[in-house]
Structure 1
Amino acid sequence: MNKQEMWGCIATAPKMYFTKIQKIMKNLKDVQEIFNGTQKKLVEAGGLKSEEAAELLRHIERFNPKEYFEKLEKNNIKFVSVDDENYPEKLIPFDHKPYFLFYKGKLPDENATAVAMVGARACSNYGRNMAKKIGKELSERGVQVISGMARGVDTYSQLGAIEGGMSTYAVIGSGVDICYPVENIELYGDIINNGGIISEYPPGSSPEGWHFPQRNRIISGLADKIVVIEARENSGSLITVEWALEQGGDVMAVPGRVDDKLSQGCNRLIKSGAGIVTNVDDILSDLGYNAYYEQKKEKAKEKILEKDFLMLYSELGLQPKSIYELIETTGIVYEKIVTMLLKLQLEGLIEQPYENYFSIKNT
């Protein structure tokens, strides 16, 4: 078995929870040593009792990697391990990173900014409206929204993100083949089509209560910033904040009324130094990010650089060329090329340093 298959085997072994794997791997060089090890060696590595080590070795003997990965593929489920090239780079620095992930759709784009949005499940109308509005506006400006698809703030932030058109990702506390809560089945499908559903729990895993606090470290780890919208004083959403702070991440919060219990957690975060969110520009400014104008420019560029535009644009460089030279190399007639050059100038893609000479705009 290769390392991906080995991790697939470990992922499906009974009761091989993250904490057990972490204890074992702290004393082993890599996953290969588990497969080369004996019952005694696995117990000595820590994390497993004697019978647990024996059960793991029996599971390794029974595991059929070809059959298992074919089953995953048949169900449109992908698998990535910490030893794979496409494992999320943002998670790599953390000691508590998951050793493997299952996902439907795709993983977050490492080159795009990502913001995690979390908050109360039993949120107010204010919380729902703010979550959807901020999620949509972040998405419209090219920011990936990451959440957990839970009821309340998670749901509305991801509904907004889908409306905004950018990818959104849900890190869930069950297998990726299980939609929880069930009423989010439509959202579940939309997230897969627009981004991805991610979990460290193998397909078929039920949404156990202890899964959710653990999955929060993945939500915060994948994000460049955490935004909290409505959280009680002891809200589960604050677990994500704790993970973010441990990971060195930045936290922001939407303020609420001082007498509203749903806002006590957010207001305390702000009092303790978290950034305050009154609109989406607060988040983008804190990120030093001006994606809106960059995205707008890229879309304009893609729209006009088609067919003849692409040919004309490709003939231009930093060294100015005359309009007559461009007519000769492109074969575009004078009347048309004049209009095209004007449009390229208006879009800010080229400039005319002197009459009838054109070059790519040097930004």
Structure 2
Amino acid sequence: MSENNKTKDIEYWQSERVAFCALQSLHGVGFKTLHKLVRNVDSLKAFIKNSSADEFAKTLRIKLEPTLHEVEHSWKAFQQQLWADGISLLKKLAKDKVQVVFSQESLFPEKLRAIDKPPLWLFVQGSLENLNKASVALVGSRQCSQDGYWLSKYIHSILHKKNLVTVSGLAEGIDQSVHYESLRFGIPTVAVLGTGIDSNFPKGSEILRADILANGGTVVTEYLVGQSYSASNFVQRNRIQAALSDCLIPLEWKIKSGTAHTVNFAKDYGRLIAMLCLPDSDENNPERKFIESYQKGMVFQVPHQTADVEEYILSLVDENKPPKTSSEPVNPKKEQFKLDL
């Protein structure tokens, strides 16, 4: 791509980010509405700029003030203010080192682009490069036992200095243990949220999240700014965890649980799945049977199969070369915002 085309490409996507932020700032425009709009229009900026008040309200299924439909200059003023609101939100995100990346952009993670029903956009706080590196997703129960915590510590001792990234969900229990142990062993870790990027959920996770970012990690979500949690959001969040991984390791889980959704997504995406079993574990439990029935599933007895687990982990680095990326961290001082529609 020529330098001139690169500049145009950067300007186009920056305008789309402003428009995207502008639209989500509107009362009544939620995730599903914006998702449908992105799928069905060529340009969000063009949608804002070229729509009449009637077309705009009908497409978004929102009500506008009557004067916006009746008085042309009132509608133009509304468009200008909406654009300014988009700039304001994008500046706020940039200040918090949050990037918005669309699925059509070259910076978008290839692992996510390749799945069925990929996210159409991502909010990424911290290192975007982590999303393109060889990674292990470690997930499990919120009500985990001491065995689950031990397995988390065990696998991180093996992952240490293996040039891998860990992926989990910042939830209480196993997920937070994964992030804590990753920080302890100096492993970059990715937290995939089931809420908006500005939400601190679960309550009390703010310090852990700050530590993740301070140590070269990443916080990522597809949900809109201000969007709260729901059961369905967390199920869909799980597909991103599975897709970002080269290997999924469910540390403690049940066949009927939230973690099972992540396991099933990993299976659907053809990811490797490994299960670690302690010496006294039941060889006939349904979770183990599920992994053993999967063509790319592996079961390890630990700790005496530690050498086998380590060899397995090393194979991930050798066989999954992370795609090159020219991404750079957001620098608010370098961001340029224009008010012109």
Q: Match for 1:53: what amino acid?
A: R
The 8 Å contact of residues 119 and 230 in structure 1, kept in 2 or not, is answered as yes
Q: 2:4 matched to which residue of 1?
A: none
Partner amino acid, structure 2, of 1:241: V
Question: Aligned in 2, Cα 1:111/1:196: closer, same or farther, shift over 3 Å?
Answer: closer
Query: How far apart are 1:42 and its partner, in Å?
Result: 8.5
Map of 1:43-58 to 2, 5 A cutoff?
A: 50=58, 52-54=60-62
The corresponding residue for 1:9 is 22
Q: CA deviation at 1:266?
A: 3.0
Supply the AA of the counterpart residue of 1:128: Y
| Aligned 8 A contact 1:132 1:161 in 2 | no
1:125-175 deviation line (CA, Å, top 9, x unaligned)? 010110122134314311100000111111111211112212101001122
Residue 288, structure 1, aligned to residue 315, structure 2: yes
Distance in 2 separating the partners of 1:174 and 1:280: 38
1:281 to 1:34, Cα distance in 2 relative to 1, 3 A: farther
Q: Kindly report which structure 2 residues correspond to 1:51-70, keeping only aligned pairs within 5 A, or say none.
A: 52-54=60-62, 61=79, 62-64=82-84, 65-70=86-91
TM-score of the pair, normalised by structure 2 = 0.70
Larger radius of gyration: 1
Instruction: Please show how residues 131-146 of structure 1 align to structure 2 within 5 Å.
Output: 131-146=152-167
Match of 1:191 among 187, 212, 217: 212
In the alignment, which residue of structure 2 is the partner of 1:276?
Answer: 299
Runs of at least 5 residues in structure 1 that lack an aligned partner in the other structure: 44-49, 292-363
State whether residues 220 and 243 of structure 1, in contact with CA within 8 Å, keep that contact through their aligned partners in structure 2.
Answer: yes
**Alignment check: 8 A CA contact 1:117 1:147 kept:** yes
1:228 is aligned to 2:236? no
RMSD: 3.4
Contact 1:3 1:83 in 2 (8 A): no
Question: Equivalent residues in 2 for 1:155-166 (5 A)?
Answer: 155-166=176-187
Tell me, yes or no, if the aligned pair for 1:134 and 1:160 is still in contact at 8 Å: no
Cα gap change, 1:42 to 1:92, in 2 (>3 Å): farther
Query: More displaced, 187-196 or 141-150?
Result: 187-196
- Residues 79 and 265 from structure 1, CA distance in 2 versus in 1: closer, same or farther, beyond 3 angstroms? farther
Residue type matched to 1:288 in 2?
Answer: S
Counterparts of 1:249 and 1:16, CA distance in 2? 35
Q: Structure 1's 148 and 15: CA in aligned 2 closer, same or farther, altered over 3 A?
A: farther
On the 8 A contact 1:174/1:207 being kept in 2, the answer is yes
| Structure 2 partner of 1:124 | 145
Cα deviation digits, residues 95-149 of structure 1 (max 9, x gap)? 4221222232222435531111111110110101101221343143111000001
Query: Which structure is higher in RCO with an 8 Å CA cutoff and minimum separation 6?
Result: 2
Letter in 1 for 2:159: L
Q: Which residue of 2 aligns with 1:76?
A: 97
User: Counterpart of 1:148?
Assistant: 169
Aligned counterparts of 1:206 and 1:265: Cα–Cα separation in 2:
33
Is the contact made by 2:171 and 2:202 (CA closer than 8 Å) also made in structure 1?
Answer: yes
1:12-38 Cα deviation digits (max 9, x unpaired): 455655555555555555556754567
Contact 1:284–1:290 (CA<8 Å) still a contact in 2?
Answer: no
Query: Match for 2:223 among 192, 198, 201?
Result: 201
Distance in 2 between residues matched to 1:265 and 1:191, nearest whole Å = 34
Q: Deviations over 1:275-325 (max 9, x none)?
A: 11444852652662467xxxxxxxxxxxxxxxxxxxxxxxxxxxxxxxxxx
- Cα distance in 1, alignment partners of residues 39 and 116 from structure 2: 10
Look up the SS of the partner of 1:98 in the other structure: coil
Shift of the alpha carbon at 1:183?
3.0
CA deviation profile, 1:332-360 (whole Å, cap 9, x unmatched)? xxxxxxxxxxxxxxxxxxxxxxxxxxxxx
Q: Size of the alignment, in residue pairs?
A: 283
Summarize the Cα distance change of 1:104–1:51 in structure 2 as closer, same or farther, 3 Å threshold. Answer: closer
1:91 maps to a residue whose letter is: L
| CA shift in 2, pair 1:67/1:22, >3 Å | closer
Deviations 1:242-285 (A, max 9, x none): 2222223222222355569xx95532322323211444852652
> Which residue of 2 is the match for residue 244 of structure 1?
266
State yes or no: 1:170 paired with 2:191.
Answer: yes
Q: Measure the CA separation in 2 of the matches of 1:283 and 1:90.
A: 24
Q: Give TM-score scaled by structure 1 length.
A: 0.66
